[in-house]
Structure 1
Amino acid sequence: MAVPALVQKFVAVYKLWQEYRDHFPKKSRFSLGGKIDSLFIEIIELLFVASYLGKQEKLPYLQKAIRKLDVLKFFFQVSWEIKALDNKKYISISERLNEIGRMLGGWIRGIQTKAPAR
């Protein structure tokens, strides 16, 4: 069973986050860091499940994934603002998440434009 490229790309960002999380300040590691970790896992699950569904069944999963991705990006911004992440780490994660967001948006648009007219 081959894992889709978008899921692989997202898992790669999660692995990067795992490296960064070890350097998160202790006071934020289990609150904000834990929430970020949970969002990563939820998004990976949504993308993985969506990748094996029919076109119209995918849409709710992808829409939920993109909403959670937006929340994840917001929490990374908060992490940067409270100096739990330095500039270099924040930029590294943000650029990757933005690229994944564009890919996810393209996947959603592709499904919506191919949907039969009602």
Structure 2
Amino acid sequence: MKKSHPEAAILDKCREVLLLMNVHLNHFPRHEKYGLCQQIRQAAYEVYGLLVECQKRYHNKTSLSRLDVRHEQLRALVNVAFELGYYDYRDGRRSNGLTEANRRFMALSVLINELGAMIGGWIRSLRAADGAAA
């Protein structure tokens, strides 16, 4: 089903990221439960909250820039988790499936990149509207 508003599509994409991300984070090592896992979760939830905030504000340039920065922080945290080998874990234990770890990371990374492209498009459309109004 096609959404009529681009803002609805961006919320759907963010929910998709949240759902997949939580599945992957549940498999990370136990010693990271209150470390990197918590930071990634919090960053993702803040991105979702900022998306809702941006939709509700009339003047949302500062909110969109905060959203863009927080999204980039989320991307960086997910990349650090991959570099530390946390996608190699299954049920809190290291597994031997490197290709599975790569597949899991790439699936989440692609969704995060798509979300970033949508945020960037929103920012560009706002700038274009401001340029046309001037």
* Common fold: TM-score over 0.5: yes
Local SS of the residue matching 1:24: coil
CA shift for structure 1 position 18: 1.0
Structure 1: 4+ residue segments shifted above 6 A: none
Which residue in the other structure is 1:4 paired with? 8
- Worse overlay, 3-12 or 63-72: 3-12
Which residue in the other structure is 1:51 paired with? 55
Higher CA-based Rg: 2
Counterpart CA distance in 2 for 1:87 and 1:28 is 19
Counterpart CA distance in 1 for 2:20 and 2:68 is 20
Which residue in the other structure is 1:95 paired with? 110
- 1:66 touches 1:104 (CA, 8 Å); kept in 2? yes
Which residue in the other structure is 1:25 paired with? 29
- 1:25 touches 1:84 (CA, 8 Å); kept in 2? yes
Counterpart CA distance in 1 for 2:79 and 2:65 is 21
- 1:6 touches 1:103 (CA, 8 Å); kept in 2? yes
Question: Is 1:63 the counterpart of 2:78 in the alignment?
Answer: no
What stretches of structure 1 of length at least 5 have no aligned partner? none
Which residue in the other structure is 1:82 paired with? 84
CA shift for structure 1 position 52: 2.0
Local SS of the residue matching 2:86: coil
Superposition RMSD on alpha carbons, in Å? 1.4
Question: Is 1:14 the counterpart of 2:29 in the alignment?
Answer: no
Which residue in the other structure is 2:75 paired with? 73
What stretches of structure 2 of length at least 5 have no aligned partner? 88-100
Name the count of aligned residue pairs.
114
CA shift for structure 1 position 53: 2.1
- 1:9 touches 1:100 (CA, 8 Å); kept in 2? yes
TM-score by length of 1: 0.90
